[in-house]
Amino acid sequence: MEFRTLGKTQLRVSAIGFGGIPIQRVSLKEGVEIVHAALAYDINFFDTARGYTDSEEKIGLGLKGKRHKAILATKTMARDERSMARDIDISLKKLQTDYIDLYQCHNVKTEEELAEITGPEGALVALVKAKEAGKIGHIGITGHIDQTVIKALQVYDFATVQFPRNVIEDAAEKELFPLARKKEMGVIIMKPLAGGAFKNPVLALRYLLGWDYSSIIPGMDSVEQVKNNAALAVDLKPLTDIDIQRLEDEAQTIGSKFCRRCEYCKPCPQGLDIPSFFILHSYFERYGLGDWSISRYGSIQPNVVNCIECGICESRCPYELPIREMLRQVHKDLGQ
Ligand code: SF4
Ligand code: SF4
């Protein structure tokens, strides 16, 4: 495994880290096995979040008695001091530890949120106190909107930044990551497979490993995935021209108007599981699973006909997707 320095934290993290979203889908027992496998394959960087239901709990249980082998990062959407202090304590408890290496302000979307976080009773007050009390080691930030995160880096000396980056999402390389490098921050790459849109994880991850990012954190929900992903950072090889062509071909097929499955659009007041419709539609469009997708769509309730077009989902989507229009297309193709 290649280890890299997480910016000014000086922590040495595995170039492939563990993204903690998909572990929510497996049982507690499987979750623990997956965490054990990650450690066995030398993945030492684990990233989770307060908002990922039982992800912290599973990772905490998996690291029981092995905490010293891991560098642990988590995050919360708390914006004020009191909620942040509460969430830090909950994270410590769920993760079964008395110290979290990196605590991040999660998905900072607007300048208003940033002003609240950095204000006199904002989340940063609690984070700094927790750091002074030895509960956390470093303070980081995550987001999906580069201009907001750039602003955040200008107003506070965060130790790390976590942002989406993959073959089709390179906005961060324009201003954000150059600024982070200048400030000697750790750079953590989320959504390396564009929320599962890339079906060739080997090439997509190898592409990112060729950059100077501290850790790339694909989500993993099986021992097999852990093994395969970890192997990519053991013997790094540059991509060939043929590899690059294949990646570019796949990127062109995916385009930019696609759902990254981040789930920030939820909950829908009508109970629609919005990303699941887009997943089904991608099977329909890209993987020749037309009949299966149509039949699955027919069994889901509520579905797109129940959408009242309120637009709440669109105001939450960090990628500014025209969700209502996309859902109408889903129904047109699958609602047969
Ligand atoms: S526009 Fe439709 S899908 Fe979006 S939140 Fe409103 S009801 Fe739900
Ligand atoms: S529609 Fe937008 S907010 Fe919802 S899961 Fe997809 S990318 Fe995320």
Residue ranges per domain, the chain? 3-247, 274-334
CATH architecture of the region 3-247: Alpha-Beta Barrel (3.20)
Q: Is 323 in the pocket of ligand 2 (CB under 6 A)?
A: yes
DSSP 194: T
pLDDT tens, position by position, 220-243 = 889 999 999 999 999 888 899 999
Half-sphere exposure of residue 253: CA atoms within 13 angstroms, side-chain side: 15
What's the gap in Å between 276 CA and the centre of ligand 1? 14
Please list the alpha-helical segments (H only) found in the chain: 28-40, 55-62, 81-94, 111-118, 123-132, 146-155, 176-182, 201-209, 223-232, 241-254, 274-286, 290-299, 312-316, 323-334
Rounded to two decimals, the pTM is: 0.83
Residue with the smallest CA separation from ligand 2 atom 6 is 259
Residue with tokens 């994270």: 91
User: What's the CA angle centered on 198, arms 194 and 202, to 5 degrees?
Assistant: 110
Is 274's C-beta closer than 6 angstroms to any atom of ligand 1? yes
pLDDT the model gives residue 52: 86
Per-residue pLDDT of the chain (336 residues; tens, 9 = 90+): 999 999 999 999 999 999 998 888 799 999 999 999 999 999 999 999 998 889 999 999 999 999 999 999 999 999 999 999 999 999 999 999 999 999 999 999 889 999 999 999 999 999 999 999 999 999 999 998 889 999 999 999 999 999 999 988 888 999 999 999 999 999 999 989 886 778 788 999 999 999 999 999 998 889 999 999 999 999 888 899 999 999 988 888 877 788 877 778 989 999 999 988 997 887 787 656 778 789 889 999 999 999 999 999 999 998 889 999 999 999 999 997
pLDDT of residue 22: 84
Q: How far is the CA of 74 from the centre of ligand 2 (A)?
A: 21
The pLDDT score that the predictor gives to residue 322 is 95
Q: What is the pLDDT of residues 98-137, one digit of tens each?
A: 999 999 999 998 899 999 999 999 999 999 999 999 999 9
Closest approach atom of ligand 1 to CA 323: 4
- For ligand 2, say whether the CB of 289 is within 6 Å of any of its atoms: no
The pLDDT, as a whole number, for residue 251 is 85
Closest ligand by atom to 275 CA: 2
State the distance from the centre of ligand 2 to the C-alpha of 78, rounded, in angstroms. 20
**Encoding tokens for residue 38?**
């990650």
Tell whether ligand 2 has an atom less than 6 A from the beta carbon of residue 122.
Answer: no
- The confidence score (pLDDT) of residue 266 equals 87
- Position in ligand 1 atom list of the atom nearest CA 310: 6
